[in-house]
Chain A
Amino acid sequence: MVFGRGLRPLSIASAALLTSAFALVFFYAPNDADQGFVQKIFYLHVPLAIVALCGFVAGGVYGLRYLRSGDRAHDLRSYVSIHLSLVLAVGALLTGSIWAKASWGHWWVWQEPTLVSFLIVFLLYACYQPLRFSIEDPERQARYAAVFAVVAGAFVPLNFMAVRMAESLTHPRVLSTTGGAMPGSMRLTFLVALAGMACLFVTLCKYELASKHASMQLRRLKRRLAGDEGLVPLERSAAPQRL
């Protein structure tokens, strides 16, 4: 199994898409009528959040596939997907906070269901790595992490529903209601930014998968050459270390 296939075209594609997205953001998309220039953080914040959520759900799907098949490659995919989504989620929370400060005057706004549910989802997934780290047996680690990923993946939509019901609606509904009202130039920019972010996520996933897989193979080769005694014992890790 080769994880590194197609890395070069993917890298080029995400670089090209992101560059053109930012070019569009600064030179093509009009300033928002109410918020002015500040609103342009939207083209970074919303793709980050959407891609992170999709990554979390993808982690759950791979977890389910691992539970069904027992194929450790799915566990690795699930881990990498959730790991990188966590990184993007930090970015989404930071940009969301900056946007909230700029447009509503506060760093954190509780009347904002999307931001609040995102924080809850982030807090839940932040336990994923500690959970993996505190289980030593690799097979059990993979199985338990997959159960967590499946449950948490199902939690994401339910949580968004509950929080949205509890709060008033002040957040711009980019995809449902206001999406229709977005002018064409803004929508084009947003779609390019979203595609770029998704492409970047896939590329990063592939890079991490390839790197993890390469170090596993290196270890296997070392063992074949030097035998078990010649190997440095594996340190405990949250990441899967064997396929």
Chain B
Amino acid sequence: MRRVVGALVRKDLRLELRTRESVPAMLMFSVSTFVLFHFGLDRDRLAGDLAAGVLWVTLLFAAVLGMNRLFVAEHEQGGFDGFLLAPVDRTALFVAKAAVLLAFLAVVELAAVPAFAVLLLGPSDGGALPGLVAVLALADLGIAVVGTLVGALAVQTRARDLLVPLIALPLLLPVVIAAAHATAPLFAEAGAGALPGRWLLVLALYDAVFGLLAFGVFDFLLED
């Protein structure tokens, strides 16, 4: 299983390095959205829950772009058939794709969060960073799991680009609620406050429930 997952992840990362289809688009989209929010809200500096909301909505929409593209190569180039012919556990594809989406999100956030801080946050001593990393990690895990499932669900349909956001956004709403509530005190104007533990707990619960669920039902999306 580990070898299969490793091979699939390497394949996808190499593909991304050569074509550069997903990550640059997600990153450009995030930065453009920050600029849009600057003009849409007509504010130079954001703080508190408004900053958290802007960050999470932007990251979520950027993630939807990644979900849209996640299985396209498999679908169009016959990668599904190749994978199904191989004598390996089918869940490996789910684990690999979720890991790839997680890696994409991490790379995007590595650039988008500093851009957000420079463009929209006030001067800060970086005290919010450890808490923010924890929330980002938990939320990304949930987004990656659900995004992989929704991407696989939608890629075989005729209206792929429409269905992914329609299904993923309501499904990911608990993640946005919990992540925005957890990050709001970190962006407080008076300096980073304490990280609310119960929202981290909600995120962890969401990750666990949907991780197990997606792990269980993913096989049915591949059978042919």
93-145 of chain B: CB within 8 A of chain A: none
Contacts of B162 in A (CB 8 A): 130
- Bound form: Cα–Cα A143–B163 in Å: 16
| In the complex, A163 has a CB within 8 A of chain B | yes
Contacts of B157 in A (CB 8 A): 131, 134-135, 144
- Bound form: Cα–Cα A161–B175 in Å: 12
Task: Digitize B151-181: 1 where CB-to-A-CB distance is under 8 Å, 0 elsewhere.
Answer: 0011011110011001100110110011001
Query: Do residues B217 and A131 form an inter-chain contact, with CB atoms below 8 A?
Result: no
| In the complex, B39 has a CB within 8 A of chain A | no
Contacts of A152 in B (CB 8 A): 171
| In the complex, B194 has a CB within 8 A of chain A | no
Contacts of B173 in A (CB 8 A): 120, 159, 162
Query: Do residues A67 and B217 form an inter-chain contact, with CB atoms below 8 A?
Result: yes
Contacts of A120 in B (CB 8 A): 170, 173
Query: Do residues A124 and B170 form an inter-chain contact, with CB atoms below 8 A?
Result: yes
Decide: A127 near B153, CB < 8 A? Known: A120-B173, A158-B206, A158-B209.
no
Query: Do residues A67 and B220 form an inter-chain contact, with CB atoms below 8 A?
Result: yes
Query: Do residues A131 and B220 form an inter-chain contact, with CB atoms below 8 A?
Result: no
- Bound form: Cα–Cα A148–B157 in Å: 13
Query: Do residues B178 and A136 form an inter-chain contact, with CB atoms below 8 A?
Result: no
Decide: A135 near B156, CB < 8 A? Known: A151-B217, A166-B177.
yes
Residue of B nearest to A143 (CB): B220
Residue of A nearest to B162 (CB): A130
- Bound form: Cα–Cα A144–B155 in Å: 11
Residue of B nearest to A126 (CB): B166
- Bound form: Cα–Cα A166–B199 in Å: 9
Residue of A nearest to B198 (CB): A165
Contacts of A151 in B (CB 8 A): 149, 171, 210, 213-214, 217
Contacts of B153 in A (CB 8 A): 131, 144, 147-148
Contacts of B181 in A (CB 8 A): 166
| In the complex, B65 has a CB within 8 A of chain A | no
Number of chain B residues close to chain A: CB under 8 A: 31
Task: Digitize A150-170: 1 where CB-to-B-CB distance is under 8 Å, 0 elsewhere.
Answer: 111011001101110110000
Interface of B is mostly: helix
**A to B contact number (C-beta, < 8 Å):** 82
| In the complex, B223 has a CB within 8 A of chain A | yes
Q: How far in angstroms is the closest Cβ of chain A from B7? A: 25
| In the complex, A146 has a CB within 8 A of chain B | yes
Selected from B158, B163, B167, B213, the residue in CB contact (under 8 A) with A154 is: B213
Contacts of B166 in A (CB 8 A): 127, 130
Interface of A is mostly: helix
Query: Do residues A162 and B213 form an inter-chain contact, with CB atoms below 8 A?
Result: no
Decide: A147 near B220, CB < 8 A? Known: A134-B157, A165-B202.
yes
Residue of B nearest to A152 (CB): B171
- Bound form: Cα–Cα A135–B157 in Å: 5
Contacts of B163 in A (CB 8 A): 127, 130-131, 134
Decide: A147 near B221, CB < 8 A? Known: A130-B163, A166-B177.
yes
| In the complex, A123 has a CB within 8 A of chain B | yes
202-224 of chain B: CB within 8 A of chain A: 202, 205-206, 209-210, 213-214, 217, 220-221, 223-224
Residue of A nearest to B154 (CB): A131
Selected from A121, A136, A144, the residue in CB contact (under 8 A) with B221 is: A144
Contacts of A147 in B (CB 8 A): 149, 153, 217, 220-221
- Bound form: Cα–Cα A146–B217 in Å: 9
Query: Can you give 10 contacting A-B residue pairs, CB < 8 Å?
Result: A67-B217, A127-B167, A130-B162, A143-B221, A147-B149, A150-B213, A155-B170, A162-B173, A162-B178, A166-B181
Residues of B within 8 A of A (CB): 149, 153-154, 156-159, 162-163, 166-167, 170-171, 173-174, 177-178, 181, 198, 202, 205-206, 209-210, 213-214, 217, 220-221, 223-224
Besides A131-B154, A147-B149, A161-B202, 5 more A-B contacts (Cβ < 8 Å) are A143-B220, A143-B221, A151-B149, A155-B171, A162-B177
